[in-house]
């Protein structure tokens, strides 16, 4: 997979979209690897690895030795972290 730190790279990559056309019966790509999930969430792959071992991250699947994330789980996990403002009623006013 291409370097996830390249700001000009697009997600999903052209290669992923090319492969996705071969599985039309599944619709959109249902699972992505750690690098693609990290790019989707604007995190580092290492952050997702830490979440997997410490907890608190998005749900993941193990297919043998391979870790995969469902795109719908990534969207749900990100939506749960949406905030309208910072917590607390004692916000400073300058």
Classify residue 5: in a domain, yes or no: no
- pLDDT for the residue numbered 84: 81
Classify residue 66: in a domain, yes or no: yes
Classify residue 3: in a domain, yes or no: no
Residue 86 pLDDT grade (very low, low, confident, very high; cuts 50, 70, 90): confident
Classify residue 18: in a domain, yes or no: yes
The count of structural domains within the chain is 1
- Classify residue 11 as left (phi > 0), alpha (psi -120 to 50) or beta: beta
Sign of CA dihedral 13, 14, 17, 18: negative
pLDDT tens digits for range 28-83: 678 999 999 999 999 999 999 999 999 999 999 999 999 999 999 999 999 999 88
The pTM of this model reads: 0.64
Q: Of 60 and 6, which is predicted with more confidence?
A: 60
Classify residue 91: in a domain, yes or no: no
- pLDDT for the residue numbered 1: 45
Which structural domain range is residue 64 located in?
14-80
């Amino acid at each position: 997979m291409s370097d996830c730190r390249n700001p000009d790279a697009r997600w999903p990559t052209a290669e992923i979209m090319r492969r996705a056309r071969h599985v039309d019966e599944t619709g959109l790509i249902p699972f992505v690897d750690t690098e693609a999930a990290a790019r989707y969430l604007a995190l580092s792959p290492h952050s997702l690895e830490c979440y997997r071992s410490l907890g608190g991250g998005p749900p993941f699947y193990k297919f043998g030795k391979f870790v995969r994330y469902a795109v719908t789980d990534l969207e749900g996990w990100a939506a749960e972290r949406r905030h309208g403002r910072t917590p607390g009623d004692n916000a400073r006013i300058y």
